[in-house]
Structure 1
């Protein structure tokens, strides 16, 4: 891939800062509500991952899946996205978002947008993901919908 990327918004990517509601017990963030998300983004499953400090996940893209990431803490993440989609009005755009404990954020990543994140905090960080497709399909019987770039030493997608 010979794309050159420059900073700018990516068509279809939604970044929404979250309100943290705190009380003496702790805090709560609404990651998604059916009445605030387009039907094509509604989750089919959800998972939580823990990422150690300095560790990256991705970069990769999906052919059909939309990811709905919730970065709410603990942890701080540098999220990077690249639009390498043929025919996209924002092809060549690159976005970077700092998200997590100090900036609770949801990032919705449409199919074809390369994405990844690195824990840039000092402790382990949690990430919540609600993709709109089942991992490996119904009963885990389908190919995994990922185009991976992590092991490509010439990848144009640095985390």
Structure 2
């Protein structure tokens, strides 16, 4: 598996090897031993699968606050998405910075998003299916969202029109007015 560091410490792009023949291909998308060697020791406890019908759907920016923070390993099984992680750890040298990467069924890439980061994606195709592992169970009381279009973040969502949003995401607070529950470990 190829592991690439991004501009945000701990956010990694993983590209599993594909073994193909006339029938198609096979890929090992998670292997604890191999990823531990790359520094990922996450203990995943829940798998999620979402489907967005329309191109231009946006989900995020989501987080789960302590005591139930989640790291995620995200991939796109059908179609294509623009996946985004935002550093939300107070005291971090990259606080408020973001990275984005195209994840698609064709490229097989995955994004590892550590605890303390906001996560969201926009769909680049019709019928995009996203699969992601989480390190903690869904906890409704810890669930939160930050505005996708925050002027403080200036995220390029790769959209050519206004996105389709959930009511929760449409009403999310702006990053500049939001009080992050996350603290960078280096600040302690």
1:155 to 2:156 alignment: no
Is 1:45 aligned to residue 46 of structure 2?
Answer: yes
Match of 1:81 in 2: 85
Per-residue CA deviations over 1:42-80 (Å, capped at 9, x if unaligned) read 211212221222211111122221111122x32111112
TM-score (norm 1): 0.77
Alignment pair present for 1:126 and 2:106:
no
Q: What is the rounded CA distance, in whole Å, between the counterparts of 2:30 and 2:123 in structure 1?
A: 22
| Structure with the larger RCO, 1 or 2 (CA within 8 Å, 6+ apart) | 1
- Aligned-partner SS, 1:89: coil
Distance 2:143 2:7 in 1: 23
**SS state of the match for residue 90, structure 2?**
coil
Query: Which sections of structure 1, spanning at least 5 residues, go unmatched?
Result: 1-7, 137-142
> What is the root-mean-square deviation of aligned Cα atoms in Å?
2.3
**Does structure 2 retain, via aligned residues, the 8 Å contact 1:48–1:129?**
yes
**Alignment-derived partner of residue 110 in structure 1:** 114
Per mean C-alpha deviation after superposition, the further-off stretch among 38-47 and 105-114 is 38-47
Question: Offset at 1:40?
Answer: 4.1
Cα distance in 2, alignment partners of residues 108 and 148 from structure 1: 19
- Count matched residues: 142
Higher helix proportion: 2
Cα 1:59/1:109, change in 2 over 3 Å? same
5+ long unaligned stretches in structure 2 = 1-5, 147-168, 177-188
TM-score normalised according to structure 2 size: 0.66
User: In structure 1, what is the Cα distance between the partners aligned to 2:21 and 2:143?
Assistant: 40
Asked if the contact 1:135–1:144 (Cα under 8 Å) also holds between the matched residues in 2, the reply is: no
Contact between 2:46 and 2:133, CA under 8 Å: does it hold in 1?
yes
For 1:46, what is the secondary structure of its paired residue?
strand
Deviation, structure 1 residue 35: 0.6
